[in-house]
């Protein structure tokens, strides 16, 4: 190879090297631009979520006060859709689920099984929440009041021992040795019951079952939720309440713990009704899976119950 050929070859190699360096530089610039854009988008996304979170209250379903999902969503729909317009569909759906209280969030998760919340888009999430939390109080509350007629005629009502979810305070003089336990009843009503700080679960259990006029008590129990772990715990009647809660607030849900194998074995009308309410709620929320035939059968029971309630109402 003569000197001229060698010089030409080296020049070509140098030119190729320059082109390669220029290509790598362009690729690095594009990568850096993409990263910066992604960081900016994530920052805007976080700021939007934080802004929405501070302006929108947690949804707590309370049919007795008319606090349904439609009413709550109607207050914040424009805020979510307009101020959160830059959020994608999945982000808006996730945000909506985070604004549900612990009981409502658990019902929603059970309802969509085997799917996960991340697999449900925003419109489907709204539709499902409307289905779950738009029940009016008329029939359920009517049945509860009819069942309470016998109780009110048997003994005087003590409003001082109750407090609804609206936060109405008890009229009793406060005893430092007593404290209020907030209980969610099967019909969705919250009440507060006075118990001693050293009371076992049985003391609260007797008050609630007496208030509901339940004689066959063996099917029911209290449960409470650990917010951090998201776990439901059952309250033992033979142990002290405070030791079981371990610094958790005294908020309980009165629920069916043991379903009877044969419903006709329940003689107590009140107990049978509250078992039915729990069964209906567990099927609607997906906690108890059921076939289409079972749904149709229970639907017929619901219609029959509503007709009986209306007849009883006009009779009284």
Can you give the pLDDT at residue 51? 79
Instruction: For the sheet with 190-196, list strands across it.
Output: 190-196, 178-184, 251-256, 220-226, 231-234
Percent of all residues in the chain with a pLDDT value above 70, rounded to a whole number: 75
Does position 213 have pLDDT exceeding 60, yes or no? Answer: yes
What is the C-alpha to C-alpha distance for residues 231 and 251, in angstroms, rounded to an integer?
14
Can you give the pLDDT at residue 45? 67
What is the C-alpha to C-alpha distance for residues 298 and 293, in angstroms, rounded to an integer?
9
Scanning the chain, the segments in alpha helix (DSSP H) are 3-55, 69-78, 89-98, 102-112, 122-132, 138-154, 201-211, 241-245, 269-284, 292-315
What is the C-alpha to C-alpha distance for residues 45 and 64, in angstroms, rounded to an integer?
37
List pLDDT tens digits, range 107-121.
Answer: 888 888 888 888 888
What's the CA dihedral at 109, 182, 253, 106 to 10 degrees? 0
Quickly state the pLDDT bin for 146 (edges 50, 70, 90).
low
- The candidate with the shortest Cα–Cα distance to 219, out of 183, 256, 262, is 256
Q: What is the pTM of this model?
A: 0.43
- The candidate with the shortest Cα–Cα distance to 108, out of 120, 53, 4, is 120
Phi then psi for residue 128, to 5 deg, are -70, -40
Query: Three-class SS string for 160-224?
Result: HHCCCCCCCCCCCCCCCCEEEEEEECCCCCEEEEEEECCCEHHHHHHHHHHHCCCCCCCCEEEEE
Quickly state the pLDDT bin for 38 (edges 50, 70, 90).
low
Rg (CA), the chain: 30
Mean pLDDT of 25-50: 68
List pLDDT tens digits, range 230-262.
Answer: 788 889 989 998 888 888 888 899 998 888 877
* Weakest mean pLDDT among 13-17, 37-41, 300-304: 37-41
What is the C-alpha to C-alpha distance for residues 8 and 13, in angstroms, rounded to an integer?
9
- The candidate with the shortest Cα–Cα distance to 254, out of 277, 287, 229, is 277
Can you give the pLDDT at residue 171? 43
Can you give the pLDDT at residue 168? 39
Neighbouring residues of 217: CB distance < 8 A, sequence distance ≥ 6: 205, 209, 271
Contact 45, 117 (CB under 8 A): no
List pLDDT tens digits, range 159-183.
Answer: 444 444 444 344 444 667 788 889 9
Mean pLDDT of 7-15: 77
Higher pLDDT: 170 or 135? It is: 135
């Amino acid at each position: 190879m003569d000197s001229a050929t060698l010089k030409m070859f080296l020049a070509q190699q140098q030119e190729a090297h320059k082109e390669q360096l220029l290509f790598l530089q362009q690729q690095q610039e594009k990568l850096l631009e993409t990263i910066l854009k992604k960081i900016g988008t994530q920052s805007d996304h976080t700021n939007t979520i934080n802004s929405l979170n501070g302006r929108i209250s947690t949804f707590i379903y309370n049919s007795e006060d008319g606090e349904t999902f439609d009413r709550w969503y109607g207050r914040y729909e424009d805020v979510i859709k307009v101020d959160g317009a830059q959020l994608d569909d999945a982000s808006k759906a996730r945000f909506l689920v985070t604004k549900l209280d612990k009981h409502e969030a658990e019902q929603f998760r059970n309802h969509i099984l085997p799917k996960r919340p991340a697999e449900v888009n925003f419109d489907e999430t709204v539709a499902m929440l409307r289905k779950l939390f738009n029940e009016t109080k008329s029939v359920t509350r009517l049945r509860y009041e009819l069942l309470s007629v016998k109780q009110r005629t048997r003994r005087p009502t003590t409003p001082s021992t109750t407090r609804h979810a609206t936060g109405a305070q008890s009229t009793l003089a406060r005893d430092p040795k007593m404290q209020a336990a907030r209980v969610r009843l099967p019909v969705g009503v919250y009440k507060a019951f006075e118990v001693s700080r050293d009371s076992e679960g049985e003391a609260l259990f007797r008050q609630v079952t007496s208030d509901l006029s339940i004689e066959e008590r063996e099917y029911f129990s209290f449960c409470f939720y650990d917010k951090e772990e998201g776990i439901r715990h059952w309250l033992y009647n033979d142990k002290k309440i405070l030791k079981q809660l371990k610094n958790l607030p005294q908020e309980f849900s009165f629920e069916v713990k043991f379903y009877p194998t044969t419903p006709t074995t329940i003689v107590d009308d009140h107990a049978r009704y509250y078992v039915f309410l729990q069964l209906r709620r567990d099927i609607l929320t997906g906690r108890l899976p059921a076939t289409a035939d079972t749904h149709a059968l229970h639907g017929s029971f619901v219609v029959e119950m509503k007709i009986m309630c209306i007849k009883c109402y006009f009779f009284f």
